[in-house]
Structure formats: C-alpha cells, structure tokens
Amino acid sequence: MFVSQQLSYKYALTAFFLFGLQGIVAVGGALELIFPDLTMPISYTSGRAFHLNISLYWPLLGMFAAIYFFFSRESGQEMYSRQLINVNYWLLVGTVVLVLGTLLLGYQEGREYLEALWPFKVATAISTILLSYNLMRTFWTAPVVKTRATLVSMLTGSLTLILFYVPNLFVYQHPTTDEIAKFLVVHLWEEMSLELIGIGVLAALLIEIGAVKRHLIETAVYLDVIFIAFAGILATGHHYYWIGVPAYWLWIGGIFSAMQVLPATVLLYSTLKNVSVKRFSELSNRDKITMGLIGSSTFYHIFGAGLLGFFMAYPPINRYVHGTYITSAHAHLALFGVFGFLVLALCFYILFYETVLNEKSYRWCWYAIGALNSGLMIMAGGLLLAGGLQCYFWRIIGLSIGETNELIRPYLALRAAGGGLYAMGSLGLTFLVIKSIWPNIRYFFYSTVPLPARQADLVRIRDLMMLFIEKAKIMEQVLRKILERLKKDR
Amino acid sequence: MKFVLNSFLVVLSISLIAFFGAIYSSVAGNKLQSMTDQELKGKHVFEQRACIECHTLFGNGGYSGGDLTKAYGNFGEVYLKEYFLQPPLISGAKSKKHISLSPAETDLLIAYLRFVNSVNTVGWPPAVQNKQAR
Ligand code: HEM
Ligand code: HEM
Ligand SMILES: [Fe+2]
C-alpha cells in the first residue's frame, strides 16, 4: 500500500459526508413543489442551486479519491507529489464549502449548474489542473507499460475535465452561447470525462478484488473508451437541439446519441462475460457491499442513462419531452444512478481498506442500499408520470403551466416520498460509514503512519484467513481427486 | 496495445475537432444576433433574480414555472408588465405570490424576453403551446 493511497481517504470521507447532506435540502425543495404555500428557511432558488452544485461536486470529490487511490496502485508507485494531493484536497474542499455556503446565502450568478461565483469556478478549474499535473508526472515515470488501459483512461478523463470546464470561466453575451458552454460541463464532464475515469477505476477495482483478470478486460476497456470518445462527444448535440443553433445539430445529436448504446453494450457484455459471480460468496463483507453498489450502478447505466436517454434523444420525441419532469427523471437516474452509486462503491472500498466493518453495520449497510435503490426508483417513477402528464396537458392539450402543475401534484408527491426514502438511506449509510471510521478519524486526515497496531493486525488476519479459505478449497479438490483415484485403484 | 491506444487517441482528437468545429460554425460571424445594452441589462436582471431555477429558457432550467423562451410572443408586453408589477398567486397557493420586480427591472426584463423570443429555435416549443396566448 502506498502513502498516496492513504492520502485519498479524506476525499472519500468528504464525498460521503456531502452525499448525506444532499438528501436533506433536496427533500425540502421537493416538498415546496407540492405545497406551494410552504415557506422554507432556504428559498427555493437558493436550495435548487445548492442541490445542483452539490450533485456535481460530491461525485467529483469521490472520483478524485478513486483516481489517486487507483492511479498510484496501477502505476506501481507513489504519486509524483504527495504534498499536492493534500494541497488539492484543501483547495477543493474549501471551494466546495464556500460555494455551498454562498449559494445558501443567495449569492449566485444565475446560470443553471454554474451558479457559483466566479472566483470559486476558477478554483475548481485549478483543482482539475493540479490533479492532471500530478497524474501526468506520475505516468511519465511509471515502471509499468505505458499502454495500460486503466492508466490511460483515468489520465485522459482527467485532462478532458480541464478542457470542458475552462470555457465556462468566460462571460458570454448571447444566451445561446451560454447554453453551449454550460453543456460542456453538464454533458461532457459526465458522459465523457467521468465515464472514462469511471471505466478506468472500475476495471482497476475489479482486478484488485480478483473478479476479473487484467489481460481479459484490457481490450474491453479500450473498446469502451474508443466508443465513448466516438459517440459521447458529438452526442452533446442532444442538448443543443432547441437553443438557437442551426438545425444540423438535430442530426449530429440524434445520430451520435443513438451510437451511445455502443459503450453501454460493451460494458454490459464484458461485465457479464468476465466478472465471475460464483465467487461472490467468497468475497469479504466490504467487497460484497462494493459489488452491490457497482451492480446498482451498472443497472442504472443500462436502463436510466442508456435506454431512457436513447429514447429522449430522438429529436421528434425530444421536441415534446424537452424541459419537462421526464428530463428530471433521467437526470436523477443517470447522475445518481450511474455515478452516485459508482462513487459510493469506490469510496466505500477505499474507506474500508484498512478499517474493518463490523457484522452489525454490515447488515445495516444492505438496508441503506435497499432504501437508496427503492427511493430512487419511486422518485424516478413519480417524475416519469409527472413528466408524461405535464407533456400531455401542457404541450399537447395546451393547458397553462399553472393548471398543469395542479394536475401533476400527486405524482410530485410520490417523488417527494421516494426522495424521503432515499434521504433515509443516504443518511443511514453516511452515518454507518462515519461511525465506523470515527475511532481513527485523525488517521484518515493527517497521518501517513500505519493504523494503530490492533486495527492493522485485524486487517492482516482477515486477509490471511481469506487466503486460507481459498487454499483450503483448492486442497479440498486435490484431496477429493486423490480419494477418487484410491477408490478406482481398489 | 500500442495500436489500440493510438486508435483511441485518434478517435478522441477527431471527435473533439469535429465538435468544436461544429460549434464554431454555429456561432461564428453574425450567426448570433448581437444584443443591445438594454437587452443585456435585462439578462442581468434575469440572472440576479435566479428565474432559471424555476423556469426553463430554451427548455433548460427548472421545471416548476414553465418555459419562457416564447413568453413575450405568447403573452405580450402588457400582460407581462402586469404580471411582474402585480404578481398573481401561484396556482394552488392561498398566500404565496409570484416574485415581483421593480418598474425599472420589469422594463429591462421584458426587453430581454423580447430578444429571446426572436431567437430561432427551429420550431420549438411545439405549436399548440403557442396558441394559448391570452
Ligand atoms: C451516465 C451517463 C449520463 C448522465 C450522468 C446523464 C445526465 C443527464 C443530466 C443531468 C441531464 C439533465 C440536463 C439538464 O438539466 O438540462 C441529462 C439530459 C439528457 N440526457 Fe443524459 N445522462 C447520461 C447518459 C445519457 C445517454 C446515454 C443519453 C442518450 C443516448 C442521454 C440523453 C439525454 C438527453 C436527450 C437529455 C436532454 C433532455 C432534455 O431535452 O431536456 N443521456 N442527462
Ligand atoms: C432525496 C433525494 C432527492 C430529491 C428529493 C431531489 C429533488 C430534486 C428537485 C426538487 C429538483 C428540482 C427539479 C425542478 O427543477 O423542478 C432536482 C433537480 C436535480 N437533482 Fe435532485 N433530488 C434528490 C437527489 C439527487 C441526487 C442524489 C442527485 C445527483 C447526484 C440529484 C441531481 C439533480 C440534478 C442534476 C437536478 C437538475 C436537473 C433536473 O431536474 O433535470 N438529485 N432534484
Ligand atoms: Fe447528455
């Protein structure tokens, strides 16, 4: 284990903390939509801006954790600068705290998703630059083959984070240009950069826990990232259909969005083919939870992001569903369903690398994951119904938005109920994680010396036991064969 | 693996160039109408008041208040002026009113909505909605 890996713990812990926080404010906003007279301590506009920003920042923080953790491991050495990992942590977390704080106080720039004040956006850009710089330097000196798929996809993913964020540091006059720039972050960060990073870290994780063999998935990872680069970038067009650009974007967006099924298919196919499920029972508790979260992520990747996105991206359909709650259903299924669950899986894995989760917490973790999944499904179901009816009443029949809102309120209530369940799951999971980590909290933030002896010994004993069990199984087979031979010979 | 890596880098570069090229050709020259001072100030009012958290513009934004892209064309100046100066109750509410604007802000904002209304959105939103002008 490298020191760089330990330094990533604090990123993972902070991501979990923000994830827990998000649910509370979100439910407040959802309630305001069903009880129009309700007045919350936080105004709806501030609350929504907070919600959107936190929904971009916590998965980002979690991805940073995973990148430092697995890049160092996969490159077989320490990161080029460990100091820079710490500096970047305080820079990024400081920025996030200030962004969220100022948004709650009502300071914002009035552009959706990019509401944060300008200096904080600059700080965010610097964070992505520091990350990429550290990765580049590490990559150059890595004692492993430079074509290793996991390293390449993490590195290119991180570099493109910068490329897509920087255009948003400038001020544009025309609202159409604003929209063009906004989706460089809202679409390309997610469906290109984080997708590349996600594939890289996921492959590294699966290799480490022995669920797949490196040589078997190396090509699959490359195939996947090639398809992502091919389809994902021009698919940004599905956000440009109606923003005041020429009509050829309908073709670009439509065609390349349809191609986005390619990477999803490769992902599904190679997971089903290469991940051996029969070994699930042999995994440690932590790895079982991790796999449960990864499984959830894969499920939403195919249905929430891939399938639903595919239908919505077809221009004649998009013409009607664009700007309705159907988009919101997809946004939650895709952003939380895919990257939320993936980041939770990665952070969980990282945080319990040296700490042991006790049996009771372990069981509660499953309940929390159940609540998250069912909450998300109910939420998305409610939003899809609300969106479908909104489309019909408002876009097709031509009722006013006020009348439409009154008619769809029951489904928005269903969404809020699902949100409540989700929030309970998220608070529960965050509580369990923080509670289990708490005795060693100083270690997670400051220390590079090993954990207190007993803790580390426990981990080592657990690993040894796992090894014994594995060996015993092999021995059992050998013994059985010998026995059969003996029987035959007799 | 060297070959696959190179293919990846080539595909990535070509896609990026094609994408940014297409963006450039959509905005370069006079493709986008320039804005007057008043329209720009109206945009700032729109941003300061965070209208985008409850309303969509070109279909992007918050979903609770509906789309404002063609609001100027649908409702007309008089209706909008009154809406912002003496806002009605939100549908279904007994006490909560829509946010109000000062007379100066209202004029600027309406100028901005007029500008947005003139942007060619290739026929979006669907026609039925345009008919509902009061
Ligand atoms: C993991 C991948 C994905 C994530 C994280 C994601 C996320 C999002 C988010 C957050 C939005 C809402 C944007 C807004 O507020 O305006 C959105 C919209 C959209 N997404 Fe995705 N998405 C993913 C995959 C896909 C795929 C694969 C497709 C199509 C094949 C797709 C098609 C769309 C379309 C067409 C919209 C626009 C909806 C509208 O017209 O309002 N998405 N996506
Ligand atoms: C307790 C659970 C949650 C509730 C109740 C909730 C509620 C809401 C509400 C009320 C909106 C505003 C929709 C509108 O404009 O009318 C919203 C938007 C959004 N939320 Fe959530 N949310 C939850 C969890 C999450 C999570 C975990 C994420 C991602 C990590 C997320 C990402 C987004 C995004 C990207 C949008 C803006 C795009 C859109 O609405 O299409 N939300 N959410
Ligand atoms: Fe997209």
Range scoring the smallest mean pLDDT among A96-110, A119-133, A346-360, B75-89: A346-360
Query: In DSSP terms, which residues pair with B89 in a beta bridge?
Result: B97
Rounded Cα distance between A157 and A305, Å, is: 19
Range scoring the smallest mean pLDDT among A112-116, A481-485, B101-105: A481-485
CA of A304 from ligand 1 middle (Å) equals: 9
Separation in Å, CA of A339 to nearest CA in chain B = 21
For a pLDDT cut of 90, what percent of chain B falls above it?
A: 89
Residues 26-85, chain B, touching A (beta carbon < 8 A)? 26-27, 31-35, 40, 43, 46-54, 56-67, 69
Residue B116 touches chain A, beta carbons under 8 Å:
yes
Helices (H) and strands (E) in chain A, counts: 20, 0
Residue A313 pLDDT > 60 = yes
The stretch A311-318 carries a mean pLDDT of 96
pLDDT, tens digit, 9 for 90 and up, residues A327-350: 999 999 999 999 999 999 999 999
Which residues, judged by CB distance below 6 Å to any ligand atom, belong to the binding site of ligand 1? A 186, 190-191, 238-239, 257, 260, 305-306, 309-310, 312-313, 318, 322-323, 327, 330-331, 334-335, 338-339; B 59-60
Residue A490 pLDDT > 80 = no
Rounded Cα distance between B20 and B25, Å, is: 9
The partner residue sitting opposite A176, judged by closest CB among B22, B52, B119, is B119
pLDDT of residue A279: 66
**Cis amide prior to A119 (ω within 30 degrees):** no
pLDDT of residue B108: 97
Residue B130 pLDDT > 50 = no
pLDDT, tens digit, 9 for 90 and up, residues A30-78: 999 999 998 888 999 999 999 999 999 999 999 999 999 999 999 999 9
Nearest to A316 by CA among B74, B56, B119, B124: B124
Helix spans in B49-102 (H): 71-85
Residue A483 pLDDT > 80 = yes
Could you tell me which chain B residue has the CA closest to the CA of A246? B26
Tokens linked to A395: 């876009």
User: Is domain A3-451 given the CATH code 3.40.190.10 in the classification?
Assistant: no
Helix (H, G, I), strand (E, B) or coil at A112: coil
pLDDT of residue A212: 84
Residue A18 pLDDT > 80 = yes
The stretch A194-209 carries a mean pLDDT of 93
Rounded Cα distance between A216 and A360, Å, is: 36
Residue A472 pLDDT > 70 = yes
Q: Kindly report whether the global pTM for this prediction surpasses the value 0.90.
A: yes
- Position with higher pLDDT, B30 vs A165: A165
Mean pLDDT rounded to a whole number for chain A: 92
Please report which confidence band the pLDDT of residue B36 belongs to, taking 50, 70 and 90 as the band edges.
Answer: very high
pLDDT, tens digit, 9 for 90 and up, residues A133-149: 999 999 999 999 899 99
Separation in Å, CA of A107 to nearest CA in chain B = 9
Rounded Cα distance between B112 and B109, Å, is: 5
As a CATH number, domain B37-118 is 1.10.760.10
Rounded Cα distance between A305 and A299, Å, is: 9
pLDDT of residue B71: 95
Rounded Cα distance between A354 and A444, Å, is: 10
pLDDT of residue A283: 77
Residue A413 pLDDT > 80 = yes
